[in-house]
Structure 1
Amino acid sequence: MSEAPQLRSRIGAILRATSGNFLEQFDFFLFGFYASAIAKAFFPSENETAALLNTFGVFWLGALMRPVGAVVLGAYIDRIGRRQGLIVTLTIMAFGTVVIAFCPSYATIGVAAPVIVLLGRLLQGFSAGVELGGVSVYLAEISTPGNRGFYTSFQSSSQQVAIFVAAIIGFVLSESMPAETVAAWGWRIPFFIGCLIIPVIFFLRRTLEETPEFLAMKKHPTASEVFASAIANWRIVILGMMIAVLTTTTFYFITVYTPTFGKTVLKLSAQDALLVTLLVAVTNFIWNPVGGAVSDRIGRKPVLVTIAGLSFLTAYPALHWLVSDPSFGKLLAVQMMFSFYFGTYSGTMLGALVEIVPKHVRTTCFSLAFALAAALFGTFTPFASTWLIQQTGDKASPCYWLMFGATLGIIAALTVYRGGKTIAVQDTVAA
């Protein structure tokens, strides 16, 4: 095959593999942006902060299903194959999305409403637990030599397209409808649009081909062998989780939480908060492959430690400067800085995580490490940020959460790449 058809084939494979990430992040972002409206619809309370905490609490509870999905669905993908597994995860994710989009409000069906929303979030979290890992492993296994970081970075870049599209829809909606209408029922429109996209994504996923690396394996592990290997490599899973924490906390802060932060804390307009988020999605898309490509050339460790160190040192000064006199320009500047940190670090982290987990149970161990980071830290970011501001009275206090993530990243990277060598893994499955 000549070079041009090969390039088109690889681009097509990347697009088909990452299409499911679009649905996942599209819905996640909408849940964060319309948190206030969702709180009123499903978690009515006289205290706005309490209603928001309930909403973000459900958002986080859904994420707690990620580790479960990582183990159960990860074992399935490592045993059955990447292609079939990614179709199954998409099916579960789509069902959860439809449930949330069409769930009646609390005023209509009472306490059943928040219960149904929670079930929808649990399904989404279960699927999301392996979606990122499954896609990252797929991209790693179709990558060309010396470009694994660059290829896997497009898993994260694809999510930024979802944020971009969701932000545009939200911006148009806020411009064309009164705020009261959006809060009452207009917030459901983007979720309905997400439902309409589902058939297209299914078509793309069904045309995926299995990776040559998976097909070349002489033996595919059984579920019990996958679980045994994950337990045997618990140390590398924990270190992988620690490396991924900065990615998840920064991502949810600059995308899911920013619209709420801009409107309720900084008192900026919904349009300003949306526009900043839209621009952040664009720069996130750019910085991810840059980070992956740079780490392919100079190594994962230098990029991970440098970015985590910068994040730790600048988080508080940047947020303190922003909240002292909030403005659109300041919010944009601060978020552009965090976007650079997130994209460069994430593009590197994905390649690193694929490489440090055992080959024959890549999907399970990768997914479990990232799912733990997302469940315990990343998706907890909106809740933690809201709680920190409420408890301290300091609008810049979410920086402490980001600094904590940076600290974990530095410790884990230095441990994994100690002495210039990657920590050894124990592969309990014969090739």
Structure 2
Amino acid sequence: MPADTASGTTPRQLRRAVGAVALGNALEVYDFIIFGFMAVQIGNAFFPSQSAYASLMGSLATFAVGFIGRPLGAHWLGRHADRHGRKPALLLTMVLMGIGLAGVSLTPGYAQIGVAAPVIVVFARLLQGVAMGGEIGISTSYLIELAGEAERGRVTSMQATSQGISNVAATLIGVVISLSIGPEALGAWGWRVALGLGLLILPLTLVMRHSLPETHGPTMVVRHDHGKAGATELMSANSPLRAMILGAILIGAGTIGQYCTIYTATFAQATLHLSSTVGLAASLAGATGQLFGAIGGGWTCDRFGRKPAMVAPFVVGLFLPVPLFAWIIAAPGLTSLAFSTFAISLSTGLVYPAVYVTIAEALPKAQRAHRFAMVYALPVTVFGGSTQLLLTWLLHVTGTPMAVAWLRTAIVLISLLAMAQLRESHPSRQLRPAFA
């Protein structure tokens, strides 16, 4: 295949590089989702107690350790990527994730090795959090530096798309395994199979990432767009500080929205008194909506500009939660819950490829991986671990399922206010007055 003279890489090399980053990103997200899905079984294996509540709390506390590790990973791995290059940092995140994944899925239970079991699992979970904290900032920086000016949104959206694919896959695998082998086998070994599937993908990911071209350092690939050097340093109408502050607000709001979707299975059972099957099906619908949104969002932010791609879906999304949740309350069931979760998640998924690109375009290359990783990790740490508690409290205090709709509406409104302060950063559209 002839070289792509506009970029210095062939289309095949570009696809391979994007695939290597997306596959590793998907693996890390898959592990986090499966761990949450199997929390009861993991609690029984490593935190046995006469109280089912105590076992579950031990497992959820271990899950939370992964969030604590994210800022640590964002700081350490992000600085490593800025100093030594994106490729070695992307390899390091995979090694750490592999060690953590093996530690959780292969460690014998408390019944076999006693207190060493939960100690090993907590440490393994911390390593996974460190890896995840660095992965997002480094992979986003790498993708936007690899992409040409006209395709930054589509290429960078693969980060969000891979998360969506992983979310759908993890939900399906969890449901299939749990239904296929029964609760007893699931608690004995099934959860290990679900987690261990990620280990099968790890060697392929390491091989693919080892062949990545470098975008930061003396061996970097320099992409050009129509004769203009656009890869070594991006230009943006937003200052780094503006992009970081507003980006943190948007990512925090997006995290709350995502965990509202994850909470759907619990909401269906505890509040609407529907079956677990309905709740899981609705969660799957939400994950599918996020996936379709991520795919479409990358294209729209390249075609229409960053700001329209952010604002338009959320203007629609502002008017979705209240009527949709009113329908859910009036006619609780699979149709109303799955459709509503899909529609709201789709509107959210459309937004975030443009958010990621806007933040990354404003950051200087020498500090991009570290700064983006911190902007992403801190809001996710704060709201990822607290949103489901907040939802449970709101539903208890208000006594109405509409509390979820009010929270979703509030975060969309806050997001729109933050978006209003951002400037258009698409290089060919910064002078246009619309949405400026």
Is the structural similarity TM-score above 0.5? yes
- CA gap 1:308/1:182 in 2 versus in 1, 3 angstroms: same
- CA gap 1:157/1:131 in 2 versus in 1, 3 angstroms: same
Q: Distance in 2 between matches of 1:393 and 1:278?
A: 26
Among residues 92, 107, 114, which one is paired with 2:96 in the alignment?
A: 92
Residue range with higher mean Cα deviation, 74-83 or 122-131 = 122-131
- CA gap 1:267/1:178 in 2 versus in 1, 3 angstroms: farther
1:205 aligns with 2:209: yes
- Contact kept, 8 Å, 1:358 with 1:365, in 2: the verdict is no
- CA gap 1:258/1:282 in 2 versus in 1, 3 angstroms: same
Shift of 1:372: 1.2
- CA gap 1:363/1:8 in 2 versus in 1, 3 angstroms: same
Q: Which residue of 2 aligns with 1:354?
A: 360
Shift of 1:418: 8.9
| Other structure's SS at 1:87 match | helix
Residue range with higher mean Cα deviation, 245-254 or 85-94 = 245-254
Q: What TM-score, normalized to structure 2?
A: 0.82
Residue range with higher mean Cα deviation, 324-333 or 45-54 = 45-54
- Report the count of equivalent residues: 408
Among residues 237, 245, 260, which one is paired with 1:238 in the alignment?
A: 245
1:138 aligns with 2:145: no
| Other structure's SS at 2:350 match | helix
| Other structure's SS at 1:146 match | helix
- CA gap 1:400/1:119 in 2 versus in 1, 3 angstroms: farther
Q: Which residue of 2 aligns with 1:304?
A: 310
Residue range with higher mean Cα deviation, 92-101 or 107-116 = 107-116
- Contact kept, 8 Å, 1:240 with 1:353, in 2: the verdict is yes
Q: Deviations over 1:285-332 (max 9, x none)?
A: 332131122122322223323334444443344335325543121221
Listed as ranges, the matches of 1:281-296 within 5 Å are: 281-296=287-302
Q: Deviations over 1:5-38 (max 9, x none)?
A: 9332221111012121121111111122223333
Q: Which residue of 2 aligns with 1:80?
A: 84
Query: More helix per residue: 1 or 2?
Result: 1
1:366 aligns with 2:363: no
1:120 aligns with 2:120: no
1:415 aligns with 2:421: yes
- CA gap 1:408/1:122 in 2 versus in 1, 3 angstroms: farther
Shift of 1:157: 0.5
1:397 aligns with 2:403: yes
- CA gap 1:309/1:195 in 2 versus in 1, 3 angstroms: same
Q: Deviations over 1:208-232 (max 9, x none)?
A: 11127874699xxxxxxxxxxxxx9
Among residues 370, 376, 381, which one is paired with 2:382 in the alignment?
A: 376
Q: Which residue of 2 aligns with 1:426?
A: none
- Contact kept, 8 Å, 2:320 with 2:344, in 1: the verdict is no
- CA gap 1:379/1:345 in 2 versus in 1, 3 angstroms: farther
Q: Distance in 1 between matches of 2:366 and 2:413?
A: 30
Shift of 1:99: 1.5
Q: Which residue of 2 aligns with 1:14?
A: 18
- CA gap 1:359/1:411 in 2 versus in 1, 3 angstroms: farther
Q: Distance in 2 between matches of 1:94 and 1:154?
A: 22
- CA gap 1:12/1:42 in 2 versus in 1, 3 angstroms: same
Shift of 1:392: 4.4
Q: Which residue of 2 aligns with 1:167?
A: 171
Q: Distance in 2 between matches of 1:84 and 1:234?
A: 27
Listed as ranges, the matches of 1:224-235 within 5 Å are: none
- CA gap 1:270/1:8 in 2 versus in 1, 3 angstroms: farther
- Contact kept, 8 Å, 2:45 with 2:110, in 1: the verdict is yes
Shift of 1:278: 3.8
Q: Distance in 2 between matches of 1:212 and 1:330?
A: 48
Unmatched runs of 5 consecutive residues or more in structure 2: 223-238, 432-436
1:336 aligns with 2:320: no
| Other structure's SS at 1:416 match | coil
| Other structure's SS at 2:332 match | coil
Q: Which residue of 2 aligns with 1:157?
A: 161
The residue type equivalent to 1:188 in the other structure is R
The residue type equivalent to 2:308 in the other structure is P
Q: What TM-score, normalized to structure 1?
A: 0.83
Shift of 1:47: 7.0
Of structures 1 and 2, the one scoring higher in RCO (CA 8 A, sep 6+) is 1
The residue type equivalent to 2:33 in the other structure is F
- Contact kept, 8 Å, 2:259 with 2:387, in 1: the verdict is yes
Q: Which residue of 1 aligns with 2:196?
A: 192
- Contact kept, 8 Å, 2:101 with 2:196, in 1: the verdict is no
Residue range with higher mean Cα deviation, 201-210 or 302-311 = 302-311
- Contact kept, 8 Å, 2:213 with 2:220, in 1: the verdict is no
Unmatched runs of 5 consecutive residues or more in structure 1: 219-231, 423-431
Shift of 1:264: 4.7
| Other structure's SS at 2:150 match | coil
Shift of 1:401: 4.5
Q: Deviations over 1:365-416 (max 9, x none)?
A: 1111011121111343334334444554444434454345334422322223
- CA gap 1:267/1:176 in 2 versus in 1, 3 angstroms: farther
1:129 aligns with 2:136: no
Instruction: Percent identity, please.
Output: 33
Shift of 1:50: 6.8
Residue range with higher mean Cα deviation, 2-11 or 364-373 = 2-11
- Contact kept, 8 Å, 2:306 with 2:358, in 1: the verdict is yes
Q: Distance in 1 between matches of 2:150 and 2:92?
A: 31
- Contact kept, 8 Å, 1:381 with 1:401, in 2: the verdict is no
- CA gap 1:107/1:162 in 2 versus in 1, 3 angstroms: same
Among residues 304, 324, 328, which one is paired with 1:322 in the alignment?
A: 328
